[in-house]
Chains A and B, each alone.
With several copies, the nearest count.
Chain A
Amino acid sequence: MIELKNIHKHFKTNHVLKGINLEVNKGDVLVIIGPSGSGKTTLLRCINYLERPDEGQISVDGFSVQGKHPSKHDILTLRRKTAMVFQHYNLFKNKTVLENVMEGLVVAKKMTKSEAKEISLALLEKVGLAEKVNDYPSQLSGGQQQRVGIARALALNPSVILFDEPTSALDPEMVGEVLAIIKQIASEGITMVIVTHEIDFARDAANRVVFMDDGVIVEQGHPQEVLVQPKHERLKQFLKRLVREPEYLI
């Protein structure tokens, strides 16, 4: 479903992605973990060309795009196959919660307003925002904003959804809800790439985990292998804090 070949990205002299190769199958839930600044967000943003890779090829759902200056039309096609949940939510400031979710449906997917509204309301209900549909983003708490971002991406029902730390502002309860939703849509065959720092979440959600460090993929595989029996020293060290004193285990 997604294929990345030799993706390189520089910010000025800073070499942030150093030749990433990655394949994701249809219906996979791929979780990317790794230390802060290792290039996870950048990689995710390359997949829908919000960041233009300096080099490399990206295919989504059989459609490939290459290099730094593909045609506008190619980029648009690629983007219409994906949806994204941003690390900083990026809600449309001038639209209400409901409009934020409807916007893509009406404009990009050409649905009628009433259709779009129905879908949006159902999703907002699912993420617990039924009461806030007519508020503006500036009136929401952090977690509420993040949930709107999730609903907005889900509503589009694309081939691929890219999540950038989708649960960072959510409480454990809500994380559970989001996890349930993700599992459900994965079962519908939608492919997901999720960047997260919550190892628990990774374990619960993923059927494949990738560990990135300093712009390269260090280790990947089944969550059991990667998270429980890590091979590389760097990954072991990264997961160290998760080992805690037994008294606190519930």
Chain B
Amino acid sequence: MSIIDFEFAWRHFPEVLKGVPVTLLIAVISMILGIIFGLIIALCRIYKVPIVNRIVVVYVSFIRGVPMIVLLFVLFYGIPALFDLINKQLGWSLDADQISPVIYAMIAYTLNTAAYQSEIFRASINATHSGQMEAAYSVGMTTAQALRRIILPQALVLSLPNLGNTFIGLIKATSLAFAVKVIEIMGTAKIIANDGYKYLEMYLVAAVIYWMLCFVFEVLFAQLERKMRRYEARMDEGQSA
């Protein structure tokens, strides 16, 4: 059974590899911005900040509810339309074609991942013990100080596995950005595949590259977790009876 043309796959491997930087660029930037916004959203929800709480609840629901592809389209087709409108109304000369599709993708993925991450942080902050907050108050910390120095470091440890999930998911989700002209790993693979209908080969190439890429981050996250958890009485050591 030599359905798979390995030689072909191998020959085109480097070409697909060229999609990695774009993928990483979008994933890393969106992840970082997503963490920041996600954290802010989570705190607004936990502290039930009036009005803002309402708004972020709708935001999270909407962003999670709408398919990523739609979000991409809304930005990709909506911003040029908006620019046209502005140009017409105000006589400006904004040119949407000047904006790289990568920018649209980054905005879309940031909006998206922030919503998911807000839930991750909400879960992990809620899982920290209320006694920790009280202790911080008792030594005279403000809420912000207590969050920054005591609660969030503990919450971060709890969220690491989920952040890992999100980040790996994000790396793969960037393949959707092909829908707005960003040519990343999957896009490159599909373009190459078309000439000889070698989809099987090229999908495998893409899968291998994604795997290598994500594996690196899996290991990084695992190590980070091990390091950050060192203060805990672990439930996962020698407790199997």
- Which chain A residues have a beta carbon within 8 Å of chain B's beta carbons? 48-50, 52, 72, 75-76, 79-80, 82-84, 86, 88, 90-96, 103-104, 107-109, 136-138, 152-153, 156, 158
Main secondary structure of the interface of B (DSSP, over half): helix
Q: Find residues 128-187 in chain B having any chain A CB closer than 8 Å to their own CB.
A: 129, 131-132, 134-143, 145, 149-150, 153-154, 157
User: What residues on B are CB-neighbors of A103 within 8 Å?
Assistant: 136, 139, 141, 149-150
Q: Do B142 and A76 touch across chains, with their CB atoms under 8 A apart?
A: yes
Q: Do A104 and B230 touch across chains, with their CB atoms under 8 A apart?
A: no
Which residue on chain A has the smallest CB distance to residue B149?
A: A107
Q: Do B139 and A108 touch across chains, with their CB atoms under 8 A apart?
A: yes
- Among the stretches B21-29, B77-85, B231-239, the one at the interface with A is B231-239
Having A83-B139, A103-B139, A103-B149, one finds 14 other A-B pairs with CB under 8 Å, namely A79-B140, A82-B138, A86-B131, A88-B131, A91-B135, A92-B150, A94-B157, A94-B231, A104-B140, A107-B139, A107-B140, A108-B141, A152-B139, A153-B139
Q: Do A94 and B141 touch across chains, with their CB atoms under 8 A apart?
A: no
- For the complex, give the distance between the alpha carbons of A82 and B231 in Å: 28
Query: Which residue of B140, B150, B230 is within 8 Å of A136 (Cβ)?
Result: B230
Knowing A84-B138, A107-B149, say if A90 contacts B232 (CB, 8 Å).
no
Q: Do A156 and B139 touch across chains, with their CB atoms under 8 A apart?
A: yes
Q: Do B131 and A48 touch across chains, with their CB atoms under 8 A apart?
A: no
- Decide if B3 is an interface residue (CB 8 Å cutoff): no
Q: Do A92 and B140 touch across chains, with their CB atoms under 8 A apart?
A: no
Which residue on chain B has the smallest CB distance to residue A88?
A: B131
- Decide if B51 is an interface residue (CB 8 Å cutoff): no
User: What residues on A are CB-neighbors of B90 within 8 Å?
Assistant: none
User: What residues on B are CB-neighbors of A94 within 8 Å?
Assistant: 150, 153-154, 157, 231
Residue pairs across A and B with Cβ atoms less than 8 A apart, 20 shown, are A50-B138, A72-B142, A72-B241, A76-B241, A79-B137, A79-B138, A84-B138, A86-B134, A86-B138, A90-B135, A92-B135, A93-B154, A93-B232, A94-B157, A96-B231, A103-B149, A104-B140, A108-B145, A136-B230, A138-B232
- For the complex, give the distance between the alpha carbons of A93 and B150 in Å: 8
What is the minimal beta-carbon distance from A78 to any residue of chain B, in angstroms?
Answer: 10
How many residue pairs link A and B with beta carbons under 8 A? The number is: 83
Which residue on chain B has the smallest CB distance to residue A104?
A: B139
Which residue on chain B has the smallest CB distance to residue A74?
A: B241
Which of A80, A82, A86, A92 gathers most chain B CB within 10 Å?
A92
Q: Do A92 and B132 touch across chains, with their CB atoms under 8 A apart?
A: yes
Which residue on chain A has the smallest CB distance to residue B150?
A: A92
Which residue on chain A has the smallest CB distance to residue B155?
A: A94
What is the minimal beta-carbon distance from B153 to any residue of chain A, in angstroms?
Answer: 5
Which residue on chain A has the smallest CB distance to residue B152?
A: A94
What is the minimal beta-carbon distance from B138 to any residue of chain A, in angstroms?
Answer: 4
Q: Do A104 and B141 touch across chains, with their CB atoms under 8 A apart?
A: yes
- For the complex, give the distance between the alpha carbons of A203 and B233 in Å: 34
Q: Do B231 and A75 touch across chains, with their CB atoms under 8 A apart?
A: no
- For the complex, give the distance between the alpha carbons of A188 and B137 in Å: 24
Knowing A49-B241, A72-B241, A93-B132, say if A107 contacts B141 (CB, 8 Å).
yes
Which of B134, B135, B136, B232 gathers most chain A CB within 10 Å?
B135
Q: Do A90 and B134 touch across chains, with their CB atoms under 8 A apart?
A: yes
Knowing A90-B131, A93-B132, A107-B145, say if A75 contacts B140 (CB, 8 Å).
no
What is the minimal beta-carbon distance from A86 to any residue of chain B, in angstroms?
Answer: 7
User: What residues on A are CB-neighbors of B136 within 8 Å?
Assistant: 92, 103
Which residue on chain A has the smallest CB distance to residue B238?
A: A52
User: What residues on B are CB-neighbors of A96 within 8 Å?
Assistant: 231
- For the complex, give the distance between the alpha carbons of A107 and B149 in Å: 9
User: What residues on B are CB-neighbors of A137 within 8 Å?
Assistant: 231
User: What residues on A are CB-neighbors of B230 within 8 Å?
Assistant: 136
Knowing A75-B241, A94-B153, A94-B231, say if A156 contacts B132 (CB, 8 Å).
no
- For the complex, give the distance between the alpha carbons of A90 and B157 in Å: 18
- For the complex, give the distance between the alpha carbons of A86 and B135 in Å: 8
Q: Do A83 and B138 touch across chains, with their CB atoms under 8 A apart?
A: yes
Query: Which residue of B138, B143, B149, B232 is within 8 Å of A72 (Cβ)?
Result: B143
Q: Do A76 and B238 touch across chains, with their CB atoms under 8 A apart?
A: no
